[in-house]
Chains A and B, each alone.
Chain A
Amino acid sequence: MTKKQYTSILFFMIGFLFLMMSADMQLGTLANMGPGMYPFIVSCILIIISIAYVFQSQKENEPMDLDIIDLVKMLGSVALAIIAFKQLGILASIVVLVPLVSTLHKDSNWRHGLIATAIASVLAVILKLTVLKALPLW
């Protein structure tokens, strides 16, 4: 499948999902719209665009390069940081997050990760002391 085909599928799926969900809500009339009418209209337009896009991009055949390893690693790091943050506060979450995301760059090394962790921790403390009073440090 080409990149354009993936794009039109993404648009169609999002449009279809919202169309189904909004159709379950009160639609009302044009003069007195229910909560579902506006997203219903917008998702219809999105579906029409996705179909038009399929026809428009038929001649193009740029292949799709969807290497999701970086995405999975990033989401995993953020998810672990969220858990650490909820349990132990921002400093612990930085100690988890920063070294983990540092590994995503091929030229990074443990020293860079350590420096980044130290700077990010100092920034967190500064923010806590100045504007983010509610930020739990630990």
Chain B
Amino acid sequence: MVELFLFLLVGCLAGTAVGVLPGLGPSTTIALLLPITFGMDPVAGIIMLAGIYYGSQYGGSTTAILLNTPGENSAIMTCIDGHKLAKKGLAGKAIMVSAISSFIAGIIMVIAMAIISPPLADLAFEFGPAEYTALLCLAFFGVTSILSDNLLTGLAAVMIGILVGTVGVDLNSGLERFIFGIDDLYDGVEFVAAAIGMVAFAEVFRNLSLGTTTIVEEKNLAILPTKEDLKRFVPSALRGTFIGGFLGIIPGGGLTGATYAAYTVEKNINKDLGTGVIEGVAAPEAANNAAAQGSLIPLLSLGLPENMAMTLILGAMIAFGIVPGPLVIQNYPDLFWGLVYSIFVGNIILLILNYPLIKIWVSLIKVPYTILYPIIIAVCFIGTYGVNNNSNDLIILCAFITLGYLFLKLDINVVPFILGLILGPMLEEYFRRSLSISQGDFSIFINSNISIGIWLCVLAIISANIYRMRKNV
């Protein structure tokens, strides 16, 4: 037991540290530590890898709040309100709200995992490719309508993201697309290079044009939220947990999609979101932690990994001789219950760990910006290389620095672009599969009640935007 606890502690610490560093995600760390775990007991190895995975969800929000640079792609929505809170001098409180929201989500999800994982996993079977296509379109329209002043520019940014996401080998035909003879583009555009170039560098450009000398002044040193704060953000965290947990369990729902969905719902409830309110941090942070832990359910029950980190954990399970699939819970109860226990304890460790660490992270923002931004650029440079240990990714980074600069100067929100880049390949896969099943008949997209419900939501968003545009004219 002590040994398991130590491995869990190491995993949580490593996960938090890599989550804080932009561009150095859990996938890289899991990949690096994978060979080490092969000498361990399978349960200890998987627990440590899982600790890295959900620890990074805690750490990813820190740079999002302090530097407006998501440590993890799932923390991108936290940037919106989190960084504005930091600018108001409430960085410490924002990070603590993020940690508490993640904790609430983690504890609820571990109970959900233990009690209702088999029936919830069954729900995934209700979603076919047509339903996923509708769900992804809803994510695009929902996020665009929230984050862009103009629906057309937001949708155009999504389309550009989707087009950039098509670069690489087409998985259906095996033919290459838009790689211009660059072999490194066979596997597609590296997301980290895109996120760093378009988000982190754009932030540096913005600060340079403003002549920023300090990022923020920490005026309010209180880290712990007040009773009033708790009343405000706990309901948001609970809603985020529900949405994130649900989308995490559905294979393909994804962490980033969960944070977008949670933020969309929260924005409809609280119109102040986007101005720097704690609810805007609580909802996406709870959602990404709930989704991270929820995604272990399809992994353990169906053998379906949701992302690169999950794929690596799946690979580790296979290397340990564990056959993924519906029989994991029955055949390997030690693994399943060991994970449930580790998540529960891990969340407590992470909350305790975050309290002293917040002061260290917040002290970062006291460093003069003239010293800090060159260091940020150097870390981004190393992080971009570190994902694949490939210096050609740095050349791709230059292309995204240019595109990010143009987006900044033209007031185009970069988040819809990133969303298109991440979810575009999934949309293509589901779209093509749907039309292949229906032999080209588009009615497949409205054949089920789930699809119809989702499309009605899309229609409502478009109508609301047209109404808003006409009102402004």
Contact = CB atoms under 8 A, between A and B. Distances in A.
Is this pair of chains taken from one and the same complex? yes
B200 to A, nearest CB: 12
State the main secondary structure of chain A at its contact with B. Answer: helix
B292 to A, nearest CB: 20
Interface stretch (B96-104, B158-166, B272-280, B338-346): B158-166
Contacts of B201: 74
A38 B428 contact: yes
B377 A53 contact: no
B331 interface: no
B370 A78 contact: no
A94 B175 contact: no
Interface string A94-111: 100111011011111100
A109 B258 CA distance: 44
**Which of the listed residues A35, A68, A79, A108 has the most CB atoms from chain B within 10 Å of its own CB?**
A35
A113 B378 CA distance: 12
A92 interface: no
Contact of A49 (B32, B152, B405, B432): B152
Contact of A39 (B177, B391, B412): B177
Contacts of A112: 368, 370-371, 374
B354 interface: no
B375 interface: yes
A73 to B, nearest CB: 10
Interface stretch (B114-122, B294-302, B380-388): B380-388
Interface string B386-406: 100101001101100110011
A39 to B, nearest CB: 5
Interface in A39-89: 39, 42-43, 45-46, 49-50, 52-53, 56, 64-66, 68, 70-71, 74-75, 78-79, 81-82, 85-86
Given A33-B432, A34-B173, A11 B370 contact: no
B18 A35 contact: no
A76 to B, nearest CB: 10
Interface string B8-20: 0000001000100
A98 B377 CA distance: 8
B294 to A, nearest CB: 27
A65 B24 contact: no
B370 A14 contact: no
Contacts of B379: 120, 123
Interface in B3-35: 14, 18, 24, 28-29, 32
A31 B436 contact: yes
B173 A31 contact: no
Contacts of A82: 391, 394-395, 398
A18 to B, nearest CB: 5
A78 B398 contact: yes
A25 B377 contact: no
A30 B440 contact: yes
B159 A15 contact: yes
A30 to B, nearest CB: 3
B224 to A, nearest CB: 30
Given A38-B166, A53-B152, A102 B370 contact: yes
Contact of B166 (A14, A39, A108, A134): A39
Contacts of A49: 152, 155-156, 159
Nearest to B435: A30
A119 B178 CA distance: 39
Contacts of A106: 211
A61 B314 CA distance: 54
B432 A38 contact: yes
A6 interface: yes
B409 A105 contact: no
A22 B372 CA distance: 43
Contacts of B411: 3, 7
A134 B389 contact: yes
Given A38-B428, A49-B155, A86-B391, A33 B375 contact: no
Contacts of A78: 381, 394, 397-398, 401
Contacts of B177: 22, 25, 35-36, 39
Given A119-B371, A123-B375, A135 B385 contact: yes
Contacts of A127: 24, 382, 386
B18 A115 contact: no
A53 B382 CA distance: 39
B378 A53 contact: no
Nearest to B399: A75
Interface of A: 3, 6-7, 10-11, 14-15, 18, 21-22, 25-26, 29-36, 38-39, 42-43, 45-46, 49-50, 52-53, 56, 64-66, 68, 70-71, 74-75, 78-79, 81-82, 85-86, 90, 93-94, 97-99, 101-102, 104-109, 112-113, 115-117, 119-120, 123-124, 127, 131-135
Given A53-B153, A78-B398, 14 more contacts: A10-B410, A31-B436, A38-B428, A56-B150, A71-B205, A74-B201, A82-B398, A97-B377, A98-B374, A105-B208, A108-B370, A112-B368, A116-B378, A120-B379
CB-CB nearest 7 A-B residue pairs: A30-B440, A120-B378, A35-B170, A31-B440, A116-B374, A46-B159, A108-B370
